[in-house]
A and B are shown apart, each in its own frame.
Chain A
Amino acid sequence: MFENVSRRNFLQVSAASVALLGLAGCNGSSDSGEGGDASGSIKVGIMGPHTGDNSSYGLACLNGAQLYFKQLNEDGGVNGKQIEPVVYDEKGDATEAVNAYNRLVQEDGVTGIVGDVTTGPTIAVAQASVADNMPCVTPSATAADVVTYGSNYFRACVTDPEQGRVMANFAAEQGYKNVATLYLSGSDYSEGVNAAFCEEAEAKGITITAQESYSEGDVDFNTQLTNIINTNPDAILVPNYYQDDGMIVTQARAQGYDKVFLGVDGWSGIYGGSENYADAADLHDCYYCCAFSSSNDSEVAAQFIEDYEAEYNETPTNFCALGYDAAMVLANGLAAAEEAGLEPGSEDYKQAVIDGIASGTVEGVTGSISYEGTGDPIKSSLIITFAEDGTEETFEVLEA
């Protein structure tokens, strides 16, 4: 019979199936829209880029957050109510993020959101969420703007400049007198860390002997390194991502520099994996700060790593841990609102969640997280260094 299928029939069938697909989509969403409240569950949105260029971050945060809610539900949920996550993908696009946010709030009626993940879409969502006073916790958006629009936005990670200050304090503590920096110009991450580091370091009496920069895509850093090494620093701050950091360390060691390197969380992943960006032998005396490392031996973190590996069969990254913690922060706020016995979805309830987050302290896997009047967390940082075989070791925990 198939040879008799005409174009017209084929087109009709295809059109019908596409239309059905669309209808099914509408039905699906409206069903879930009604199901939530009746069963006494609490709806929580999780959004992020689950497809597209930034999906590795989005999926990591999603996995972390879902793991936390799953564990929470197994332990009886919040105030006896189960958490029901509603997950939307925004493809890393600000427009889609606003749509996803509006849909979560208007169609699904969530009481809080874990998201968004990357900076641009998060700012868009933050602006849209102010009018609703919707409690939101972003696992990973580091731009200062995110938490400035209203009191309803919190983040679980520390900002880029904060990392710079942490490393400056660390440098002062270690007694380095002269520090040089080598940063990527045109990257707000790298420039932001560099500026904050220099400011804080000079305030602590450290001399910045040189500030060199390079451009996106550079692979030869010898000119800048020669200039830096000529100023004879005790340490070099390299606040970039691990690919560049690896090349810089290798080239500096080849030039005979054998003193300290300082870095920030972009260093995570510099050794190991499918591509080695630096040799273990070159990674002596390198220190970087980050929120979470798989080498972390704290009890909470160790338990998280074990649970995560059991659930997803892979080692958790920094972003998985931040997703987990963001979910924990939000759940803490929900618990406060539930205790007060408020009506879910009401303005008072949302405000109670926000107040709960702002006043509470959670022991997350990336350290203890609390808030002091802003959406920026006060939290401890890990200083990571490398063992002789290149594996990461926790050097010390810097309390906030």
Chain B
Amino acid sequence: MEEEVMTEKRPIISAGGGPRREGAARKTLPMPVRYAINAVVVLVLLVLGELMIDGGAINRYQSTVLEQVGIYIILAVSLNIATGYLGQLPLGHAGFMSMGAYGCSIFIIRMSEALGVGARDFVTGTPMALVLVLGGLVVGGVCAAVAGIVIGIPALRLKGDYLAIITLAFAEIIRVVMLNIDDVVGFDLTGGAAGLTGIPGYSSFLLVFGCVAVVCFLTHTMMKSRHGRAILAIRDNEIAAEASGVNTTYYKTLAFVVSAFFAGVAGGLYAGCVGVLQPAVFGFMKSIEILVMVVLGGMGSMLGSALSATVLTILPEALRAFSEYRMIAYAIVLILVMIFRPQGLLGSYDFSLSRIIERVMNRDFPWARRAEKDEPAAKEVSADA
């Protein structure tokens, strides 16, 4: 949803970039304007989506699938922080998701009982219910982040396969804890194997995609900041980063915890979308499902994660009519992508609306560039005109 990541330093390129721009400074957008444009685009899309749902152009089946798309986008984008940007291979994302889902829904169920907010209030969206939901999502995120710290500090000392295995094991531990905690604490907390029921259906298109926008925005700004560059430096060469004074343990844990926090928020939204939580849902396969989305889209590309999350959530639904073959088709798509684009569909490319607008402002089009190569002089004339 949110667009720009890794905008190149345009002025430097254009300063030495061909004869046509000599004398004329390249036009750029100031940062506040860039943010404003993106915010407007996101708002317009949200309002448009909501209007289509209200007007009946999107029926409930489609809007529920859309909500799931949004939830998986958050999951994939958050895992992308740990996988694509930090360069680790955690296999326990479903564990964080379940921490968030249980944390958020238990908070909301208990608080709504205490405050007397009924299930209908969540559907109609009274202010109190809205505050509860947002609070619940934050609680879910914090639960997952705490789990992320607990897991991250020992796990991030390890690399590669070892890290994959230890995160996988931790996710299983979380699942088993969810399964058995009721017997330990002595009252109904998670509902055990039978599942946690009675979760109000608070997830809606606006809430989910609002969260998507916020998560993408926060991820983007983090990655553009000093902290983000430190994280990328660790991915590219940990020893060099450490030698340059980057506190690798701190930044690895930071990226891991942020990733866990967003997964927790997605878990909270999932609980509100489905209405029942069972520990079995958050097994190993769920983690793999999310990882596949990131790998397919391109590690290190937020747009790639979002796109593949969209496609991989909609594809099984679109293929429901032949339920026997849909899993095969799904697998074939994966195999083809891995053979022909092992770096993922988008590699590390990311989309930036502001970059495109700046290009338009500077009349710097891809086809113009190609023409420029052939006839630089002719191009210069038209640019001046």
A interface residue numbers (CB < 8 A to B)? 7, 10-11, 14-15, 18, 21-22, 24-26, 28-29, 50-51, 88-89, 93-96, 98-100, 102-103, 105-107, 119-121, 123-124, 127-128, 143, 145, 185-188
Contacts and interface: CB of A to CB of B under 8 A. Distances in A.
Given A95-B274, A188-B192, A188-B194, 15 more contacts: A28-B321, A50-B323, A95-B68, A95-B273, A95-B281, A98-B64, A103-B61, A105-B61, A107-B59, A124-B274, A127-B275, A128-B201, A185-B183, A186-B183, A188-B193
Contacts of B315: 22
Interface stretch (B147-155, B326-334, B372-380): B326-334
Contact of B340 (A7, A127, A128, A188): A7
Nearest to B183: A186
A145 B193 contact: no
A143 B321 contact: no
A21 B329 contact: yes
B242 interface: no
A106 B315 CA distance: 18
24 contacts: A11-B336, A15-B336, A18-B332, A21-B319, A25-B321, A29-B320, A29-B321, A50-B323, A51-B323, A94-B278, A95-B68, A95-B281, A96-B316, A98-B273, A99-B61, A102-B61, A105-B61, A119-B194, A120-B195, A127-B275, A186-B192, A187-B193, A188-B193, A188-B194
Given A98-B274, A107-B61, A145 B322 contact: no
Contact of A100 (B195, B201, B320, B333): B320
Given A51-B327, A103-B320, A123-B195, A94 B61 contact: no
Interface string B45-79: 00000000000000111101100100000000000
Contacts of A51: 323, 327
Contacts of A18: 329, 332-333
A219 to B, nearest CB: 20
A145 B193 CA distance: 14
Contact of A88 (B276, B280, B323): B323
A347 to B, nearest CB: 16
Interface string B227-252: 00000000000000000000000000
B180 interface: yes
A120 B273 CA distance: 14
Contact of B197 (A11, A50, A89, A145): A145
A102 to B, nearest CB: 4
A8 to B, nearest CB: 9
B194 A128 contact: no
B340 A123 contact: no
B319 A120 contact: no
A119 B280 CA distance: 12
B6 interface: no
A343 B340 CA distance: 54
Main secondary structure, interface of B, reads helix
Contacts of A25: 318-322
A150 to B, nearest CB: 12
B364 interface: no
A106 B281 contact: no
B65 A99 contact: yes
A231 B331 CA distance: 58
Contacts of B161: none
Q: Quick one: which of A25, A88, A105, A107 has the most chain B CB within 10 A?
A: A25
Contacts of B180: 186
Interface string B251-282: 00000000000000000001001111010110
B113 interface: no
Contacts of B336: 11, 14-15
Contacts of A21: 319, 325, 329
Interface string B62-105: 10110010000000000000000000000000000000000000
A101 B369 CA distance: 52
B112 to A, nearest CB: 15
B22 interface: no
Contacts of B62: 106
Nearest to A23: B318
B52 to A, nearest CB: 15
A128 B275 contact: yes
A25 B64 CA distance: 19
Contacts of A93: 281
Nearest to B319: A25
B61 A186 contact: no
A11 B316 CA distance: 21
Contacts of B316: 96
B197 A106 contact: no
A95 B332 CA distance: 23
Contacts of B65: 99
Contact of B317 (A94, A99, A106): A99
A289 to B, nearest CB: 21
Nearest to B191: A188
Contacts of A14: 332, 336
Closest 7 A/B residue pairs (Cβ): A102-B61, A106-B61, A28-B321, A127-B275, A120-B278, A89-B323, A123-B276
A128 B276 CA distance: 11
Interface in B269-302: 270, 273-276, 278, 280-281
B324 to A, nearest CB: 8
Contacts of A121: 276
Contacts of A106: 59-62
A99 B278 CA distance: 17
A188 B190 CA distance: 13
Contacts of B274: 94-95, 98, 124
Nearest to A22: B318
Nearest to A18: B333
Interface string B159-203: 000000000000000000001100100000000111101100100
B323 A120 contact: no
B68 to A, nearest CB: 6
A20 B194 CA distance: 41
Contacts of A28: 321-322
A10 B340 CA distance: 10
Interface string B330-344: 001100100010000
B104 to A, nearest CB: 16
A15 to B, nearest CB: 8
B57 to A, nearest CB: 13
A96 B323 CA distance: 12
A394 to B, nearest CB: 31
Contacts of A186: 179-180, 183, 192-193
